[in-house]
Amino acid sequence: MKMKKSLLLASLVSMSAFLFACNGGDDSASGEGNDVTLDFWVFGATNYEDLAEAYEEENPDVKINIKTSELEDHHNSLFTAISAGSGAPDLTMIEVDQLDRYREAQDRFTNLYDLGAEEIQDQYLDWKWNMAENQEGDFLFGLPTDIGPKAMYYHTEVFENADLPTDPDEVSELISSPEAFAEAAGAVLEATDKPMVDSMEMAFRANMDALEVSYFNRDGELVIEEEDGVKNAYDYAVELHEQGYVSDFEMWTPEWGDALNKGSFGVEMAPAWLKGYMTENAPEASGDWRVTTLPSQFAGNWGGSYVAIPGETEHSEEAYEFSKWLLSPENQMKSFTESGLFPSTPEVYEMEEFTSNSDEYFGGQNTAEYFAEAAEEIPEVYKGPKYVTVNNEVLTALRNVQEGGDPEQEWEEAVERIEGLLDR
Amino acid sequence: MSEHRMKRFKPGNVPAYILLAFASILSIFPFYWMFVMATQPSAAYNSVPPTLLPGGMLVENFLKVLDTIPFFQAMWNTILLCTSVTILVLIISSLSGFAFAKFSFPGKNFLFICILLTMVIPPQLGLIPQYYLISQLGWLDTLFGAGILFLLNPLGIFLMRQYISESVPDELIEAAKLDGCSNFRIYRSIVLPIIKPAFATLGIIVFTLVWGEFLWQFTVLRDPSSYTLQVALASLNNAFRVDFGMMLSGVFWATVPLIVIFLIFNKWFISSITEGSIK
Amino acid sequence: MENVEKQQYVSSSKASRMSEKKKDMLSGYLYVAPFFIIFGIIGLYPAVFSIVLAFQEWNGLGEMNFVGLRNFTVVLQDPLFWKSLYNTVIMGLMGTAPQLVVGLILAVFLNMAAIRFTNFFRVTIFMPYITSMVAVALVFGVFFSSNETALANYVMGWFGIDPVSWKTSEWGAKFAISLMVFWRWVGYNTIIYLAGLQSIPKHLYEAATIDGAGKVQQFIHITIPLLKPFILLTVFMSTVGALQLFAEPTVFLGSSAFTRDEAMTVVMYLYRDAFNLGSFGTASATAILLLVIIIGAAALNTWLTSGGGRRKKGA
C-alpha cells in the first residue's frame, strides 16, 4: 500500500517535470543550416498567413512564423518586448495611432532607409509614407500596409423617406460641406424621426480625423487651446447633438450592431474595414446601405498600419525583403480582395480587379472607388504619443454633454484633466 | 456511497434547496448563454432583445473555429501546462504547509509573512521585468516559461497550513515519530491521505486559474505551436471582423473540459479520514 | 521490511547525533525552500525593479531619471488617485464582503448530509469561476447596457425605478461591477469553506446532537470556531483581491475603462499611468502606496476576524 503511494507520488513528480521539459525543444530546430526564421507579429484580420506561405515556397530558406492577435493585446505585448529590450519579433505590425509612442525609442528599430527603402517610396501614398518618418525625415520606422480612408455609408431607405437623393454621386454632391451635412440631418430627423449620426464620437471624429494639427504640435507640446481645430470639431458635435441629430449607439455594442442592421440612423462615417463587420453582423441590411464620398472637410484617415523591424533582429535584411514583397502593390491587391485591407499603393486603384469590383452587400455598387477617391485627399496628420489618452478625455466630455452636461464647462474640465495627465 | 442512497427529502430543508437552486441558476446562466451564442450566427449577438434559445449552428461554428486556430493542439498544450503546474503546486504547497503547520524552526513566522507579502505585489506591473527575465533565460515559447509564474502560489501554502494544522492531529505525528518514521515518510503516509479535500480544493482552483489566465501566457508564448487555448482563442476576437458565433463557440468548447476536471477533483472533496479514524 | 527501515533509521540517527529538533528544523527549511527558490528566480527581480522605479521617471522606453519622492507627491496630490481608492474600497465592501457570508452559507448547505444533489450544486456554484471572462463580459455587458430595454433596467422598471446608465453613472457602475465580482467569486470561497468544513471531525457533531444541541447551536459553537482558520484565510485573500480589483471593471467598462472615474480602481489607475500615459514612475509609486494600504487593511481585517487579538496559538 505504502509502496504504491510513493510510487504514485514519484511518478507524478517525474511526469510533471517531463511535461514541462518536453516542450522546450522548439528553439533549436530553427537554427539549422542557413535557414532563417522570421517572427512576425500581426493583428486583426489579414491574409498575411497565406501570403507568408507563398513567400516560403518561393524562398525555401526562409520560414515565417506569424503570431496573430487582437489590436490591443498585440500592441501591449509589443510594448512589453520593446521595453524589456529582449524578446521582440523580427517584424511587427504597428497601428498608425500607436506609432508615435515609439518615436522616442528610434534606436530600438531598424532604419528602413538604411536597407534601401527609398527605392520603393514612389509606390506608396505620400501622406502615409511621411507619417512613418522621424521629424528630420532621415529615419523610416515602417513600410505602409493598409490605410483607412473614410467615406460615408448611408442608409438608402432613410434617405428616401427624407426626400434626399439615393444615388451615390447625387448624395455627395448634395452633402458637400459640414453645413449641408447638418441640413440633410435635419431633413432625416423631420421625416423619419431618426438621428443622422450614431454617436457623439462619430460626430466629433468627422472633423477630427481631417485635422493636420490636433492636440500636439510636432515638438510634442499641447496646443489644444492655441489651435482651434479640436474645439471646432467639439462644437460641431455639440451643435449636431443640440439639434437632435446624434444618437447614443456606442460602436461595437450589440445596440449599435442592431441599429446598423435595422437602419436606425442615417449615416456612418467610416473606412472600408466597416464593410467586413457589416456583412457578417448586419446581414438583414444587405442592399440597404451605399457608400459615397464625404465632404472634403471631413476627409480623413482612420486606422491602417505599418510593418516595422525591431532593432534586436539578427535578420533585418531578410525581414526587409519579406516586408517589401508583402506590401508590394500586387500583394496589397490580394490583401484587399481577400481581407478588405485597403491598399496604400495608388497604382492598385487603377487595376482591373479594383475598378470592376462590385459589392453585393451594397447593391452591386463598386464601393472601392469612393474609398480610393478619399485616399488621395487625406492630409498628413501628426497625432503625438499620447493622442489616444488625450482624445478619450474629450470623448468623455462629449458623452457627458449628451447626458445633460454643459458643453463649455465640460470642455474646460476636459482641458484641465488633459493638462493634469501630461504633467507626469 | 450507501449513505447517499439513504438521503431522503425532508421538508425542513426546503429553504436550503431554494437557495441552492437559485444560486445554481444564476451561476450557470452566462455559461448557458455562451452555449446559445455558440449555436447561433454572429448577428444573433446583436439582436435586441437578446437571443435566449439555441440555434442550429453548433457544429458549423465549431468547424469554423477548427479552421481558424489549432484548437486541439492548443488544448493539448493547455492540458500539459495545467496538469504540470497543478501537480507541482500541490506538492510545493503541501510540503511548505506541512512545515509551517507542524514544525518549529527559527524565522518560521517571518518566512510565512514573506510568502503572504508576495501576494500583495500588483501583477500588472511586474510584466516588463518578468518578460525580460524569461527572454534572457531562453524560456519564451516554452510551457515552462508560461507556467513558472503560477508555481508561486501563496494561497496554496496558506490553505495547506490551515488545513494541516486543523486536521492532522499532533498525537498522530508524534506516534509516528516514536515508530521511527522520517518526516518525509510522515508527510507521505499520514499527511497526504488526510488532506485530500484540501488537495481537491487547491487543485481545482489552480487548474482553473491557469486554464483561464491570458495575459502572461499571451506574452510568453509567441509561436503558434506553443499556444495555449486562451492565447489561440484571442486571435478569434477581432473587432473589425468579429464573428461572435465562432468566437463563443471556441470559448465554450474551451470551457467544457474544465467541468470534467471539476468532476475528477470532486471525488476527493469528501474526506474519508475525518469521518472516523481520529477518535 | 518496515523493521529494516526502522533499524536503519535508528542507527543513522545515532550516528549523526541529530536531535529530533534539529531534524525538524532541517525538514522545515527544506520543505519551504521550493517556494523561495522559485521566487528568487522569477519574483524577486520584478519586485526590486518596481521599488526602484518608484523613485525614477521612466516612460518604458527611454532613459531613467532619478526624481526622489516626486512620484509620490504627484500621486498623493492627484484627486483621481483618491477617487480610485474610494471606488476600490466601496466596491470591495459591496462586492467582496457579502461573498464571504453567502459563500459560508452555501458551503454549510452543501456539506449537510441531508441535502441531495450536492455534486450537482457544487459544480454549478463553481461555474462562474470557470466561465471565461470573455463570456462573462459579454453577458454582463448585454444585461447592464444603458439601453432602456436592457434586462437590468427592465427588471428595475417593475419596481418603478428609472433606467440607469450602468456604465457611466456613479452608483450604477459600482453596483454592476460589485455584482459581477460577487457573482464570480462566491463559488470560489464556497469551495474553500467546503474544504474547511471537511477538516472538522464529524464526531463533534454527533456528540453535540446527543447532547441535544440544535443545528443553529451546532453552527455557532462548533462550525464557526473550527472554521476560523479558513475564515481568516478567505478574509485575507479577499481583502488583497478586493484592493487589487482590475479584471472585472476593465472588462465590464470596455473601451471607457480608463477614461472615466466612476469605477476606476487603484490598479486600473496605475495600469493607466504605466501603459497609457507612459509614466512608469508614478505607476510604481502607486503600487507601493497600494502595497502599504493592502498590508494595513489585511492585517486589520485578519485581526478583527480573529477576535481582536485572542488568537488561537499556532502549532
Facing residue for B201 by CB, picked from C23, C32, C195: C195
Interface ipTM above 0.90:
no
pLDDT-derived band at A260, boundaries 50, 70, 90: very high
Three-class DSSP category at A37:
strand
**What pLDDT sits at residue B266?**
81
Name the grid cell of B40.
Answer: 447561433
Alpha-carbon gap, residue B60 to B64, rounded angstroms = 6
What local confidence, expressed as pLDDT, does residue B1 receive? 38
Cα distance between residue A127 and residue A379, in whole Å:
7
Q: Give me the pLDDT at residue B236, please.
A: 81
| Cα–Cα separations (whole angstroms), residue C255 to A248, A251, A252 | 15, 10, 10
Nearest chain A CA: its distance from C267 CA (Å)? 17
Contacts of residue A421 in chain C, CB cutoff 8 Å?
277
Using the predicted structure, report yes or no on whether residue A14 has a pLDDT greater than 60: no
Q: How far apart are CA C52 and CA C285, in angstroms?
A: 9
Alpha carbon distance B56, B213 (integer Å): 31
Positions in chain C short of pLDDT 50: 1-17, 309-315
For the stretch B159-212, pLDDT in tens is 999 999 888 888 898 899 888 888 899 998 889 988 888 998 899 999 999 998
C282 interfaces chain A, CB cutoff of 8 Å: yes
Q: Which B residues in the span 143-162 are in contact with A, Cβ-Cβ below 8 Å?
A: 143-144, 147
The confidence score (pLDDT) of residue B7 equals 53
- What average pLDDT does the structure give for chain A? 88
- Measured in angstroms, the CA of A424 and the nearest CA of chain C are apart by 6
Instruction: State how beta strands A289-292 and A62-69 pair.
Output: unpaired
Question: C228-265 burial string, b = 16+ CB within 10 Å, else e?
Answer: bbbbbbbbbbbbbbbbbbbbbbbbbbebbbbbbbbbbb
Domains in chain B, ordered, with CATH? 69-235 (1.10.3720.10)
pLDDT digits (tens, 9 = 90+) for B117-161: 888 777 777 888 888 889 888 898 898 999 999 999 999 999 999
Question: Does residue B259 register a pLDDT over 80?
Answer: yes
CB pairs under 8 A between A and B: 142
Higher pLDDT, A367 or C259: A367
CA-nearest of A288, A298, A202, A185 to A250 is: A202
Q: Report pLDDT for B89.
A: 96
Q: Are A76 and C275 an interchain contact pair (Cβ–Cβ within 8 Å)? A: yes
Per-residue pLDDT of B50-94, as tens digits, reads 778 888 888 999 998 898 889 999 999 999 999 999 999 999 999
| Segments making up each domain of chain C, as ranges | 2-53, 73-305
B29-43 pLDDT per residue, tens: 888 888 998 898 888
pLDDT of residue A17: 55
- Dihedral sign of CA atoms B212, B218, B220, B226 in order: positive
Predicted confidence at residue B119, as pLDDT, reads: 82
pLDDT surpassing 80 at residue A24: no
User: How far off is chain A from C70, nearest CA to CA, in Å?
Assistant: 10
Q: What is the distance between the alpha carbons of residues A47 and A341, in angstroms, rounded to a whole number? A: 9
Quote the distance between the C-alpha of residue A138 and its chain's center: 25
Per-residue pLDDT averaged across A358-382, rounded?
Answer: 90
Mind giving me the DSSP string for C50-100?
A: HHHHTTEE--SSS--EE-TTHHHHHHHT-HHHHHHHHHHHHHHHHHTHHHH
> Which pTM was predicted?
0.84
- The CATH architecture to which C73-305 belongs is Orthogonal Bundle (1.10)
C27 and B CB contact within 8 Å: yes
Where are any strands of DSSP class E within A62-158? 62-69, 91-95, 142-149, 151-155
pLDDT for res B100: 94
| pLDDT confidence of residue B5 | 46
Domains of chain A from N-terminus onward: 36-148+303-355 (3.40.190.10), 149-299+379-422 (3.40.190.10)
Determine contact, residues A45/B241, Cβ cutoff 8 Å.
yes
- Rounded to whole angstroms, the Cα distance separating C76 from B259 reads 46
- pLDDT at site A383: 87
